[in-house]
Structure 1
Amino acid sequence: MEFPLVVGVDGSDGSLVALDWAVEEAARFGLSLRVVHASLWERYEGPVPSFGGDERPADELVAERVIAVALQRAGQLHPDVKVDAVTVPSDAVDALVDESRRAAALVTGSSGRGVLRGMLLGSVSLAVAGRAHCPVTVVRGEQRNIRGTAHKVVVGVEEGEEAAAAVRFALREAEGRGCEVEAVRAWRAPQQPTDPLMVLDDSVRVYAEQATDVLEEVLGAAQSEYPRVTIRRTVVEGPAHKALLQPSADADLLVLGASRRPDHRGLHLGRVSHTALHHAACPVAVVPHG
């Protein structure tokens, strides 16, 4: 049995953008789509609006309208995508994390209806990205990136098995989109030379070579599974969280790996993931190992 693609909606503009993205993604990979609205979303993203004159609880009315709009919107975008929708009597994070146990992947918007001005990422999206059991894509960034006009997927390549999982996810996405992958590996020398002419000195070059070796090792096995995907390799000096923001400005998707904490409370979202989730110019996928 193939799991569905799950998208969380709350009626906000951000969740509708995520819904549209998820519909396209489901159509691209031949997946069914499950639309989830948590009736206690306001615990995280703000109170539900009031509909005066109706005796039924406001959250019940909101749930009906959110689901109705989502189903209508999805049907208009891709009538061939099988869509079911459900309202879950739970808070948003718990509902979506539970759904992630039975999902091919999970999609959320970058902010909910109650996010304050100046807040870069909604609390639901951040919490779900750090706790989900499947890949999570947070749909954020510029409209041209969200619409997929760049024809490129960028993946940050770290070390370890979580890197391999992220690379496989990125290659699968690129194959489905018919685009290339840019695999980025950042490196830093313990001490930077003060003389710019010394940058290519052997004592520094070795770190660049080690970064290249890691990149090739991680890409090797995964590339054989997706031989039709073109991979462009980028080895760059500097902090990884900064090295990935620049290519994300010209990408349809940024893919990052994450490892599970030893105490099983969730994923380890380091500085790279946090920076990307708050600042990337394109949707960001966080892929857990295992």
Structure 2
Amino acid sequence: MGGSVVVGLDGTGNSLPAVRWGAEEAAARGLPLHFLHSWISQPLSIPIAQEAANKKRYGAEVLARAEAMAHELHPGIPVTTEQVSENAVDALVDRSRQATLMVLGSRGHGAIAGFLLGSVSLHVLGRTECPVVTVREEEAVAYGRPEVVVSAQEAGTTSEAVLNFAFAAAAAHHATLRAVRAWEPAVFVDLVPTAPPAGAPDAERETGEEKKLTDLLAPWRAEFPDVDVVEQVEPGRVAPVLLRACSQASLLVVGRRMQRTPMLLGPVVFAVLHHSFCPVAVVPRT
């Protein structure tokens, strides 16, 4: 299963967009596709009896349907399936150590019991060692709009994993890459926003941020010369700037800190996961 695209299936309608996305990603990148289902973590909304045998039988059907769909969408891609008796979070986090990418479905916007408060998705996103793409149930077509948006706030080596994933995704899908950098972001101290720092006039500050972005992207442009790159520097807080930039995108790529406590995910990641209308890739930063 090393280097595969792992798709976590919960057996609900949320799984279907994840199957499509996983199959598309595996085909585009030339990777094997692996479906995983935990029969002991099936949602309570699934209308089946609680006996273990019935849960396992239902799980086998879920995996068989996913495999059939993947082969129908992309004949010839290697597909494996796995039903486990361990907790879904633990199983997915364990498989992430060898995976190239993980794909999870979500319930979309709205209900308080939806994606952001789903314990499986939240804990997987906060603990995996590979990038995780979350796909809302209303996302019917993978990469329907040929643009990948990436947050380019971090400098130096902390940005490498995020930019590498974004450039590789754009290259695999022949998409434009839009690198977005927000300036004068709010600074939070004890969750209270403070005023932006005083200093150079706005024009000078924006010019400086533009240079930072250009310098940050230079080595990645050289490594991925066929990727068309758009640089976007915009005043404002990071999350609103990213959400505006990705309104017509196929994918938004953001980074997260490893071993973040007590919150598994930072406020920017929470905001884009909750409000973005396109799939979001959350990439662990080393």
Q: TM-score, normalised by structure 1?
A: 0.85
Q: Secondary structure at the match of 2:222?
A: helix
Aligned residues of 2:163 and 2:220 also touching (Cα < 8 A):
yes
Amino acid at match of 1:208: E
For residues 218 and 40 of structure 2, what CA distance do their matches in structure 1 show?
A: 45
Tell me the equivalent position of 1:197: none
Aligned residues of 1:71 and 1:85 also touching (Cα < 8 A):
yes
- Larger mean CA deviation between 96-105 and 65-74 belongs to 65-74
Q: Secondary structure at the match of 2:76?
A: coil
Answering whether residue 157 of structure 2 is matched by residue 159 of structure 1, we say: no
Amino acid at match of 1:151: P
For residues 28 and 232 of structure 2, what CA distance do their matches in structure 1 show?
A: 27
2:70 paired residue among 51, 74, 78: 74
Aligned residues of 1:4 and 1:34 also touching (Cα < 8 A):
yes
Aligned residues of 2:37 and 2:83 also touching (Cα < 8 A):
yes
Q: How does 1:96-115 map to 2 (within 5 A)?
A: 96-111=92-107
Shift, 1:175, TM fit = 0.8
Q: How far does the alpha carbon of each residue in 1:140-165 deviate from its partner, in whole angstroms, 9 at most, with x for none?
A: 27536x43221100001112333222
Tell me the equivalent position of 2:189: none
Q: How does 1:266-281 map to 2 (within 5 A)?
A: 269-281=265-277
For the aligned residue pairs, the C-alpha RMSD in angstroms reads: 2.7
Q: Secondary structure at the match of 1:256?
A: strand
How many residue pairs align between the two structures? 274
Shift, 1:41, TM fit = 1.6
5+ long unaligned stretches in structure 1: 194-200
Shift, 1:79, TM fit = 1.7
| Cα distance change of structure 1 residues 243 and 250 upon mapping to structure 2, 3 Å threshold | same
For residues 221 and 48 of structure 1, what CA distance do their matches in structure 2 show?
A: 48
For residues 213 and 243 of structure 2, what CA distance do their matches in structure 1 show?
A: 18
1:207 paired residue among 198, 205, 208: 205
For residues 224 and 239 of structure 2, what CA distance do their matches in structure 1 show?
A: 27
Aligned residues of 2:127 and 2:259 also touching (Cα < 8 A):
no
2:58 paired residue among 18, 38, 62: 62
Tell me the equivalent position of 2:33: 33
For residues 52 and 62 of structure 2, what CA distance do their matches in structure 1 show?
A: 16
Q: How far does the alpha carbon of each residue in 1:223-256 deviate from its partner, in whole angstroms, 9 at most, with x for none?
A: 1110111110100111101101112110000001
Q: How far does the alpha carbon of each residue in 1:120-176 deviate from its partner, in whole angstroms, 9 at most, with x for none?
A: 4133222211110011111127536x4322110000111233322211111111111
Answering whether residue 248 of structure 2 is matched by residue 250 of structure 1, we say: yes
Tell me the equivalent position of 1:289: 285
Q: How does 1:120-269 map to 2 (within 5 A)?
A: 120-121=114-115, 122-140=118-136, 142-143=138-139, 146-160=141-155, 161-188=157-184, 191=195, 202-261=200-259, 269=265
Tell me the equivalent position of 1:117: 111
Amino acid at match of 2:13: D
Q: Secondary structure at the match of 1:13?
A: coil
Tell me the equivalent position of 1:6: 6
Aligned residues of 1:248 and 1:280 also touching (Cα < 8 A):
yes
For residues 92 and 52 of structure 2, what CA distance do their matches in structure 1 show?
A: 26
| Cα distance change of structure 1 residues 141 and 150 upon mapping to structure 2, 3 Å threshold | farther
Aligned residues of 1:49 and 1:58 also touching (Cα < 8 A):
no
For residues 276 and 56 of structure 1, what CA distance do their matches in structure 2 show?
A: 37
Amino acid at match of 1:64: A
For residues 82 and 130 of structure 2, what CA distance do their matches in structure 1 show?
A: 19
- Larger mean CA deviation between 205-214 and 2-11 belongs to 205-214
